[in-house]
Amino acid sequence: MSGDLEEFEDILQRDFNPRQFANDVLKATNNDSDHFQLDIETSIKKIKYDIREVESRIDKTIDTHPWAVLEQIDKTKLVNSTLEEGLKPSLQYLDLSYGRLQDEVLIPYEKAQKLQSALSKVHQTSTLLRDSLIYIHLLNKITTLNNSMKTLTMDNSIQLASLYTQLQYNLEQNQNLKSLKVIKNYESSVIQSNKKKLIDFLVLTLSKECLNTFKLQNNQQTIAKLSNALFLVSPQDFTATIHRIILSNVATNSQILQRTINSIKNFNESFKEVVNKSHDIFRLEQILSSVKTDNNSNILTEYSSQRKPKFSTPRELFWSKISSNFKKDLEVSLNRGGPVGKSLLKNKDLVFNSINELMPLSTDNNDYQNDLKIMLNSVSALSKQQS
């Protein structure tokens, strides 16, 4: 009987695709390239013809082999009955197990997931509100302190620096705070302008304290507090301020040494002034190194690490600039010759001896050797020329 439908094997396959079959029929009936209109009617006629042919062959098979057809139907019913009776208990057990899984695991899990999501959002909102309250509390303290004082002083500026640091830390701990409109408004309208005034005051006050030898000797705790306050509020402004202080000392002391070129016999006394200023910078380094940071470092190390192109301390910066400036002035005068050049060469021992004898006074430690080396190098031209 199977041979009756051999022409229709493709249709009887499990992976039969009606769309693909229809597409193939359309292609077969529209292979004439001279026609530009799609012929659908021919394809429909062919399909109808095939349907009638299949029905005719089925009727013929039933008429010719009725007992075989009935036997096949009985076998199919028997197989279905056997499968149903054999699998029914297992299927019922699976249904029951799945029902329990659904009721006891999947549904509670989905509910727990939704609850977890809701709780997470509640927690985030709670954290945001808490940090907002902390921010507003700190802001109120800053505003109250600003309103209560007529002008900034050393004490209240240090208080304000502490509050601004806490405010910044609060923002860093919860980045979502910056997305709140009220926080944005406070930052732009209140914080930025008042913080700028505070930084300007700290920069000016610290500069005055550090450029005064007497204050460096006697106000070390004050300088430490001011340095720490400025570092906490703005590390960049702290680094720039220390740098400007050193360069200011470089400019003043370079002029002192420059004047000795025309009166070299005064070199010893003038160089002693420069060495004393270096000792002031040494004191400043000691003060800065006593101020610790959160990362187990200190603000002297933080300053030095920002120096480009290499790590350098304030004293290293001071002596490198002093020596470089003096070397240029000295070599220009030597190349010109004349009485000044001759006087420089005649008193070269005075220059070398003064540097060697006085440089140890630039620090309380024995860490002056590199500074001594670069300073001796700045006057090396004296030993290269004949007097």
With the C-alpha atoms ordered 127, 128, 131, 137, is the resulting torsion angle positive or negative?
A: negative
Answer yes or no: pTM beyond 0.85.
Answer: no
Distance CA(365)–CA(112), nearest Å, equals: 68
Q: Which has the closest alpha carbon to 302: 213, 212, 237?
A: 237
**Amino acid letter for position 374:** I
What are the residue boundaries of the structural domains of the chain, listed by start? 2-64, 211-384
When pLDDT is averaged across residues 207-216 and rounded to a whole number, the result is 89
Helices (H) and strands (E) in the chain, counts: 18, 0
* Torsion (CA) 9, 14, 15, 21 in degrees, nearest 10: 40
The set of long-range contacts for 65-74, using a CB threshold of 8 Å and a minimum separation of 24, is 65/1, 68/1, 69/1
Q: Mind listing the pLDDT tens digit for each residue in 59-76?
A: 887 788 788 778 787 788
Distance CA(248)–CA(286), nearest Å, equals: 19
Q: Mind listing the pLDDT tens digit for each residue in 335-383?
A: 888 899 899 999 999 999 999 999 999 998 888 999 999 999 999 998 8
Q: Mind listing the pLDDT tens digit for each residue in 153-209?
A: 888 889 999 988 888 888 888 777 777 787 788 777 778 888 898 999 999 999 999
- For position 33, what pLDDT does the model report? 61
